[in-house]
């Protein structure tokens, strides 16, 4: 996107702030500018295993960037973005020195790193692979992210994908037309819609399945039944690639890609473009307004010196109001602080509640079986449950935080159009960070040990009864049968004891793990909330500060105005008018930037009741 | 191969009768046991299970060789349906709590359909289709609703049928269909074994990698890809622990191959005669194939016929059969046979024969023991104590069960053996089929002398392994059982 007009406008406004010595207004503009020149529009391509995600990305960019195989799946996310020449780099984050590590590799060898074959279970610990391609489609800043489908949407892996959603500008759920939507797919769609502004369903492989229209109708029915409103695109990657090869436009139409590309360019890219225009225009307008405020006050006084008193009083009152907004006791600050505190306890409760249910379930499972036998499956199940609980908690937290931001904005300036900051929850992904369960040490009850235990029991039994017999005049070996019986009994007791021990060890491991997860995820979500709080506070404080400074300047200008003589006044009025015109020009340009866009809120402000905790998945 | 001990089947039958005697006063138990006794003489019950749209009904049709199970693009089978061999066709509906009713059969385009007479699907326990068919004589087939279906109730019913919480399963064996393996598939397979006496015996399950033609997006080499995947699954420890083996089957291709009609062959021939470039362009996508206008309408089949062809053959089937015709195959029977051969159905049938049909008695005995065990645990009484011991004794004593147990232990990877030895042990234990030749890895028509030599050789080898001081305890145990199996083979040969 990188709307050049918007960047120019911001530059101009920046110059104005320095010219009028209001560098305090420049900070926000600089941030806006930084956001504008980083034009990425991230589109996540997600879906179950083997639905044609990689092939879809390939067909979109018309190049075999993501390896496609009948059998082997993608293991590492592949990020495809615009570049002047084709480049391929592997990125490994979280190394010791903190900076992500980049390794350039030849394009032909990418498959070795990103597919399950060359890198099973992502042993190489790559964070993602980045492919740069010179493509017109991507030139607008579109970034396609091919995610691994390993394990399916419902698994721990799927939960990790969920945590990446808030940072995405759009999500494409890929499902092939061999069958209708499954439960996990619909669940994923529902969650995705809460976290991401654009969600579209892509139905692939329409070239292969004669009944794809039926399937599409059925899927539409499922979406309608669950109340999901998302666009649907039936496509055939194979036809698109073939059409590109043979330059066959009819075939291109049949592939269904035109609509998908249209959606990506005209809706996703354009929307983020619109958002940029709106926020830029808004920022520049507010800067222009504040720059003009002082001059307008002075102009008024110059034109009508009698009004000075009342104007100064009015301005002072306004400044007083603005100063109040800066106070910690102001209404929006209270809303924010209370809201975050509420949110923290709600989210914490939600998490604990979810994890407690899982603990109960897990303990029941351990009680019903021998942990030594089921541990592997159990650990997998447990990990998945915990991950999905953490991610559901996260989705809800993000939703609530956004809603809170809307409330704070409402209280900050009733009725006024205040731009919300873009909340980012993705600084540190959280849901994906749940570690798998550690297996407790299992005491082996081997044959040797059994023999020993048995002999110990047998020996004492034989001795006991043998001695008894000896009193009655029998040889000591008469105690042998009793010895054997006791030996068998002690072996049996010992195995029972060990099973009990395994169970209690297993439960302890579960509890310890849940404790760890509660601690870690709880800390993550607290950090996230605190970051959100800080973001909101800084944002609104900065606005209050700016307003206060502007008003102070206006008061000063109004007070100073009367000191000048009448001829000087004439000249000053002319000057001021000229300056105001210039600022007005800036404002006009800012307004022109959004002229073609329909009316609408810059950012959807949450209103109404707070979102409720989503129904827990039945475990 | 049973040696001097009486055949397992008769032992279990006797046990069943004795249990009925003991529980004479409990109508519930007697009914249940009598039912199981009768079941002993019925054909083996094979359930076809799998996720939604895995192609269960299509595979059933392919196995029967007729389109008797309704198939559809949407989720189709919602009721557990039994297909039983009989003299005359008849369909019975078993609604819950109401006496069974006979349904009218209608047949359109070769496919059966039944009208439930307004009974809601939720209230029907099962449908029973009696159909005269050679293929149903050896095993009764049971079609089940898909697992992980969106209509939770349908899915629950499949689960309840295959893995009832408390009672032994109604099916003796299961063909489990999976597309590419999903987590839910593995979980389901696991739950299927986690019950009763013969816990965790993957012996009664065969995995089928279904819709194999779609794996390679309908390319001509799709099936070799599918076979490669099936091979990988077979080698995968997790899956080995869950089912006997995995075969790739293209159900649609098999069904069509077994039911191909003359006019379809004529249409395919006409298509194959089109210029290659035209046909290739048509075969780019299903839409192109079914809708495109032919350059010369008189030379090829019209759009309707083509749409129907696509329905029956799928893109892969049309590609394959036109290629075959082009290569000079011009006999409809030859084409049909070739389609069936390539679909992998023959592999599945031979696996069915070795794994299920040959072990029929064993599987039946296992089901019956499960039933007896259930009665004994539900209604314990002093008079039944010897029976409990007897169940225990049969389970522990019958070499067949020991073989089964060992097979599943070996498959679960619990015993460390060199790969070659492991494969040999599995084969000798009957993992590839119970016949002497199959166990010894020889051709089915091998000479008895050859068999004897191979068996003696195997006995000597495993004897050495059993007695070697270098072998661990677990390995010696395995080796001793393998030796016992080899001796069983030898005994069978001398008889």
Taking CB atoms and an 8 Å limit, are B148 and A183 in contact across chains?
A: yes
Contact B43/A at CB under 8 A: no
Q: How many CB atoms lie within 10 A of CB B273?
A: 13
**Which among B128, B131, B39, B140 has a CA at the least distance from the CA of B87?**
B131
**Per-residue pLDDT averaged across A446-457, rounded?**
70
CA dist A299 and A122 (Å) reads: 68
Q: What is the dihedral of CA B241, B243, B248, B254, to 10 degrees?
A: 180
In this structure, the strands spanning A142-146 and A78-82 are antiparallel
* Nearest-by-Cβ selection for B180 from A49, A182, A254: A49
**Which among B128, B71, B50, B106 has a CA at the least distance from the CA of B254?**
B71
B74 vs B290, higher pLDDT: B290
Place of tokens 């392994």: B465
Contact A570, A303 (CB under 8 A): no
What phi and psi values does residue A573 have, to the nearest 5 degrees? -60, -45
CA dist A158 and A184 (Å) reads: 10
pLDDT in tens, A156-199: 566 666 666 777 788 899 988 888 887 778 888 888 887 777 88
**Per-residue pLDDT averaged across B331-344, rounded?**
90
On chain A, the residues whose CB falls within 8 A of the CB of B412 are: none
Q: What does the pLDDT read at residue A560?
A: 75
Q: What does the pLDDT read at residue A116?
A: 72
Residue A438 pLDDT > 80, yes or no?
no
CA dist A316 and A301 (Å) reads: 15
Q: What does the pLDDT read at residue A203?
A: 93
Contact A182/B at CB under 8 A: yes
Give the length of chain A.
619
HEC-encoded secondary structure of A393-452 = HHHHHHHHHHHHHHHHHHHHCCCCCCCCCCCCCCCCCCHHHCCCCCCCCCCCCCHHHHHH
pLDDT in tens, A126-143: 778 888 989 888 888 888
Q: What does the pLDDT read at residue B321?
A: 92
Contact B319/A at CB under 8 A: no
B87/chain A closest Cα distance in angstroms:
36
* Nearest-by-Cβ selection for A151 from B183, B287, B315: B183
Does the interface ipTM go beyond 0.85? no
Percent of chain A clearing pLDDT 90 (strictly above): 5
A437/chain B closest Cα distance in angstroms:
18
User: b/e for B425-447, b at 16 or more Cβ within 10 A?
Assistant: bbbbbbbbbbbbbbbbebeeeee
On chain B, the residues whose CB falls within 8 A of the CB of A215 are: 73-74
Q: Report residue A545 as tokens.
A: 């500060």
Sign of the Cα torsion B55, B56, B60, B66 reads negative
Q: Report residue A50 as tokens.
A: 């083997």
HEC-encoded secondary structure of B342-379 = HHCHHHHHHHHHHHHHCCHHHHHHHHHHHHHHHHHHHC
Contact B179/A at CB under 8 A: yes
Domains by residue range for chain B, with CATH: 44-250+345-357 (3.40.50.300), 258-338 (no CATH), 415-494 (1.10.287)
Q: What does the pLDDT read at residue A265?
A: 87
On chain B, the residues whose CB falls within 8 A of the CB of A155 are: 183
CA dist A302 and A572 (Å) reads: 8
Percent of chain B clearing pLDDT 90 (strictly above): 4
pLDDT in tens, B186-218: 555 554 444 333 333 566 788 888 888 887 766
Count CA atoms within 13 Å of residue B485 on its CB side. Answer: 32
**Per-residue pLDDT averaged across A439-448, rounded?**
60
- Average pLDDT over chain B, rounded to whole? 79
Q: Which residue of A has its CA nearest to B227?
A: A71
**Strand, helix or coil for residue B407:** helix
CATH number of A40-255: 3.40.50.300
Q: What does the pLDDT read at residue A279?
A: 79
Q: What does the pLDDT read at residue B159?
A: 52
Q: What does the pLDDT read at residue B19?
A: 87
Q: How many CB atoms lie within 10 A of CB A301?
A: 23
pLDDT in tens, A42-60: 888 888 877 888 889 999 9
**Which among B71, B60, B95 has a CA at the least distance from the CA of B345?**
B60
CA dist B282 and B318 (Å) reads: 11
Of A90-99, A542-551, B89-98, B328-337, which has the strongest mean pLDDT?
A: B328-337
**Which among A207, A203, A237 has a CA at the least distance from the CA of A59?**
A237
* Nearest-by-Cβ selection for A210 from B215, B310, B473: B310
Between CA A8 and CA A11, with CA A9 as vertex, the angle to 5 degrees is 65
On chain B, the residues whose CB falls within 8 A of the CB of A182 are: 52, 148, 150
Place of tokens 């919602």: B78
On chain A, the residues whose CB falls within 8 A of the CB of B74 are: 180, 214-215, 218
B161/chain A closest Cα distance in angstroms:
21
Q: What does the pLDDT read at residue A616?
A: 43
On chain B, the residues whose CB falls within 8 A of the CB of A181 are: 150
Taking CB atoms and an 8 Å limit, are B217 and A238 in contact across chains?
A: yes
* Nearest-by-Cβ selection for A207 from B53, B180, B285: B285
B161 pLDDT band, cuts 50/70/90, is low
Question: Using CB atoms and an 8 Å cut-off, which of residues 47-76 of chain B contact chain A?
Answer: 52-53, 73-75
Non-local CB neighbours of B359 within 8 Å, separated by 6+ positions: B203, B434
**Per-residue pLDDT averaged across B46-73, rounded?**
83
Residue A358 pLDDT > 70, yes or no?
yes
Q: What does the pLDDT read at residue A220?
A: 92
Residue A387 pLDDT > 60, yes or no?
yes
**Strand, helix or coil for residue B130:** strand
CA dist A487 and B117 (Å) reads: 67
Q: Which residue of B has its CA nearest to A218?
A: B74
Taking CB atoms and an 8 Å limit, are A222 and B150 in contact across chains?
A: yes
* Nearest-by-Cβ selection for A49 from B182, B218, B222: B182
In this structure, the strands spanning A170-176 and B111-114 are unpaired
Taking CB atoms and an 8 Å limit, are B150 and A239 in contact across chains?
A: no
**Which among B393, B404, B455, B396 has a CA at the least distance from the CA of B430?**
B404
* Nearest-by-Cβ selection for A178 from B214, B284, B315: B214
Q: What does the pLDDT read at residue A604?
A: 38
Q: What does the pLDDT read at residue A523?
A: 83
Question: Using CB atoms and an 8 Å cut-off, which of residues 203-262 of chain B contact chain A?
Answer: 211, 214-218, 222, 225-226, 228-229, 232
Q: What does the pLDDT read at residue A602?
A: 40
Q: What does the pLDDT read at residue A181?
A: 84
CA dist B95 and B120 (Å) reads: 9
On chain B, the residues whose CB falls within 8 A of the CB of A207 are: 217-218, 284-287, 315
On chain A, the residues whose CB falls within 8 A of the CB of B307 are: 210
Window from A303-312, A477-486, B245-254, B421-430 with minimum mean pLDDT: A477-486
Residue B219 pLDDT > 80, yes or no?
no
pLDDT in tens, A95-114: 556 667 888 888 778 877 77
Contact B307/A at CB under 8 A: yes
On chain B, the residues whose CB falls within 8 A of the CB of A377 are: 190
Taking CB atoms and an 8 Å limit, are B183 and A152 in contact across chains?
A: yes
A255 vs B71, higher pLDDT: A255
The pTM (predicted TM-score) of the whole model is 0.72
B110 pLDDT band, cuts 50/70/90, is low
CA dist B22 and B386 (Å) reads: 11
Between CA B128 and CA B148, with CA B249 as vertex, the angle to 5 degrees is 60
Give Cα separations from A550 to A248, A289, A318, A590, B422 (angstroms).
62, 9, 10, 20, 85
Contact B286/A at CB under 8 A: yes
pLDDT in tens, A273-300: 887 888 788 888 888 888 888 788 888 8
- β-bridge mates for residue B174, sequence order: B47, B205
Instruction: Check residue B216 and report its DSSP letter.
Output: T
* Nearest-by-Cβ selection for B150 from A183, A211, A239: A183
- Average pLDDT over chain A, rounded to whole? 78
* Nearest-by-Cβ selection for B150 from A48, A151, A182: A182
Contact A248/B at CB under 8 A: no
Listed by start position, the domains of chain A span 40-255, 447-503
CA dist B46 and B55 (Å) reads: 16
């Amino acid at each position: 996107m990188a709307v050049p007009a918007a960047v120019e406008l911001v530059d101009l406004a920046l110059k104005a702030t320095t010219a009028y010595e209001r560098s305090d207004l420049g900070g926000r503009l600089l941030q806006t500018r930084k956001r504008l020149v980083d034009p990425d529009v991230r589109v996540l391509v997600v879906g179950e295993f083997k639905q044609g995600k990689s092939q879809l990305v390939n067909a979109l960019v018309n190049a075999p960037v993501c390896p496609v195989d009948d059998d082997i799946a993608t293991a590492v996310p592949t990020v495809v973005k615009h570049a002047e020449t084709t480049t391929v780099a592997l990125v490994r984050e979280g190394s010791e020195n903190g900076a992500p590590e980049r390794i350039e590799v030849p394009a032909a060898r990418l498959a070795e790193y990103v597919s399950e074959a060359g890198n099973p279970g992502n042993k190489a610990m790559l964070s993602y692979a980045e492919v740069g391609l010179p493509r017109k489609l991507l030139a607008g800043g579109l970034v396609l992210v091919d995610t691994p489908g390993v394990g399916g949407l419902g698994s721990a892996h799927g939960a990790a994908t969920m945590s990446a959603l808030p940072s995405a500008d759009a999500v494409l759920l890929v499902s092939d037309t061999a069958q209708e939507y499954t439960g996990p797919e619909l669940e994923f769609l529902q969650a995705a819609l809460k976290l991401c502004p654009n969600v579209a369903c892509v139905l692939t492989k329409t070239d292969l399945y004669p009944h794809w229209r039926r399937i599409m109708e059925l899927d539409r029915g499922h979406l309608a039944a669950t109340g999901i409103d998302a666009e649907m695109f039936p496509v055939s990657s194979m036809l698109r690639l073939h059409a590109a090869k043979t330059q066959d436009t009819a075939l291109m139409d049949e592939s269904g890609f035109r609509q998908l590309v249209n959606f990506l360019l005209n809706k996703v890219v354009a929307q983020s473009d619109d958002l940029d225009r709106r926020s830029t225009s808004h920022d520049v307008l507010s800067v222009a307004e504040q720059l003009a405020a002082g001059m307008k006050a002075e102009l008024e006084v110059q034109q009508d010196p009698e009004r000075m008193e009342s104007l100064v009083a009015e301005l002072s009152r306004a400044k007083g109001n603005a100063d109040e907004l800066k106070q910690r006791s102001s209404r929006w600050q209270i809303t924010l602080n209370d809201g975050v505190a509420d949110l923290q306890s709600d989210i914490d409760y939600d998490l604990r509640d979810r994890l407690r249910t899982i603990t109960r379930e897990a303990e029941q499972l351990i009680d019903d079986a021998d942990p030594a036998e089921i541990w592997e499956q159990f650990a997998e199940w447990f990990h998945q449950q915990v991950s999905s609980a953490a991610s559901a908690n996260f989705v809800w937290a993000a939703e609530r935080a956004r809603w809170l931001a809307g409330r704070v904005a409402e209280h900050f300036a009733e009725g006024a159009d205040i731009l919300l900051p873009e909340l980012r929850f993705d600084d540190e992904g959280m849901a994906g960070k749940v570690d798998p369960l550690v297996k407790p040490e299992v005491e082996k009850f081997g044959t040797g040990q059994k023999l020993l235990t048995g002999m110990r029991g047998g020996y004492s039994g034989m001795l006991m009864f043998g001695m008894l017999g000896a009193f009655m005049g029998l040889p000591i070996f008469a105690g042998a049968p009793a010895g054997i019986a006791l030996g068998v009994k002690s072996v049996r007791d010992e195995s029972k004891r060990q099973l009990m021990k395994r169970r209690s060890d297993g439960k302890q491991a579960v509890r310890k793990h849940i404790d760890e997860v509660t601690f870690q995820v709880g800390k993550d979500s607290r950090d996230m909330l605190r970051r959100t709080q800080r973001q909101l506070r800084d944002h609104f404080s900065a606005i209050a500060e700016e307003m206060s400074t502007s008003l102070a300047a206006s008061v000063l200008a109004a007070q100073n105005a009367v000191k000048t003589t009448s001829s000087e006044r004439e000249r000053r009025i002319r000057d001021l008018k000229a300056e105001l015109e210039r600022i007005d020009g800036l404002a006009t340009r800012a307004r022109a930037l959004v002229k073609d866009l329909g009316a609408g809120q810059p950012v959807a402000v949450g209103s109404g009741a707070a979102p409720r905790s989503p129904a827990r998945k039945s475990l | 191969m049973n040696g001097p001990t009486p055949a397992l089947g008769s032992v279990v039958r006797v046990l069943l009768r004795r249990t009925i005697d003991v529980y004479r006063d409990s109508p519930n138990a007697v009914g249940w046991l009598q039912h199981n006794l009768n079941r002993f003489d019925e054909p083996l019950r094979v359930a076809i299970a799998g996720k939604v749209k895995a192609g269960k009904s299509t595979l059933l049709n392919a196995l029967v060789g007729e389109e008797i199970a309704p198939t559809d693009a949407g989720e189709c089978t919602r009721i557990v349906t039994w297909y039983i061999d009989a003299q005359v066709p008849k369909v019975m509906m078993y609604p819950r709590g109401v006496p069974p009713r006979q349904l009218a059969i209608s047949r359109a385009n070769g496919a059966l359909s039944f009208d439930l007479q307004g009974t809601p699907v939720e209230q029907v326990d099962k449908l029973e289709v009696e159909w005269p068919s050679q293929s149903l004589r050896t095993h009764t087939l049971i079609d089940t609703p898909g697992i992980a279906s969106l209509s939770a109730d349908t899915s629950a019913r499949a689960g309840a049928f295959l893995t009832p919480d408390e009672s032994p399963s109604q099916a003796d064996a299961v063909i489990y269909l999976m597309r590419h393996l999903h987590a839910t598939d593995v979980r389901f397979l696991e739950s299927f074994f986690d019950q009763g006496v013969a816990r965790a015996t993957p012996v009664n399950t065969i995995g089928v990698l279904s819709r194999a033609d779609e794996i390679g997006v309908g390319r001509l080499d799709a099936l070799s890809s599918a076979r490669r995947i099936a091979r990988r699954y077979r080698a995968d420890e997790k899956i080995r622990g869950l089912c006997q083996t995995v075969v790739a089957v293209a159900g649609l291709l098999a069904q069509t191959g077994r039911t191909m009609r003359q006019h379809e062959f004529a249409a395919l021939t006409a298509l194959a005669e089109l210029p290659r470039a035209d046909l290739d362009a048509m075969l780019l996508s299903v839409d192109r194939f079914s809708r495109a206008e032919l350059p010369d309408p008189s030379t090829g089949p019209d759009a309707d016929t083509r749409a129907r062809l696509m329905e029956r053959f799928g893109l892969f089937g049309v590609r394959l059969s036109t290629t075959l015709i082009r290569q000079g195959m011009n006999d409809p029977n030859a084409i049909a046979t070739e389609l069936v051969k390539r679909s992998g159905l023959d592999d599945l049938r031979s696996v069915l024969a070795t794994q299920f049909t040959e072990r029929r008695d064993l599987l039946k005995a296992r089901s019956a023991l499960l039933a007896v065990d259930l009665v004994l645990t539900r209604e314990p009484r002093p008079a039944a104590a010897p029976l409990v011991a007897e169940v225990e004794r049969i389970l522990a004593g019958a070499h067949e069960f020991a073989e089964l147990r060992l097979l599943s232990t070996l498959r679960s990877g619990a015993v460390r053996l060199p790969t070659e030895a492991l494969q040999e042990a599995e084969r000798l234990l009957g993992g590839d089929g119970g016949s002497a030749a199959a166990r010894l890895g020889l051709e089915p028509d091998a000479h008895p002398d050859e068999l004897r030599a191979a068996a003696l050789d195997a006995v000597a080898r495993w004897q050495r392994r059993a007695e070697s001081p270098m072998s661990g305890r677990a390995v010696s145990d395995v080796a001793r059982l393998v030796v016992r199996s080899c001796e069983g083979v030898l005994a069978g040969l001398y008889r």
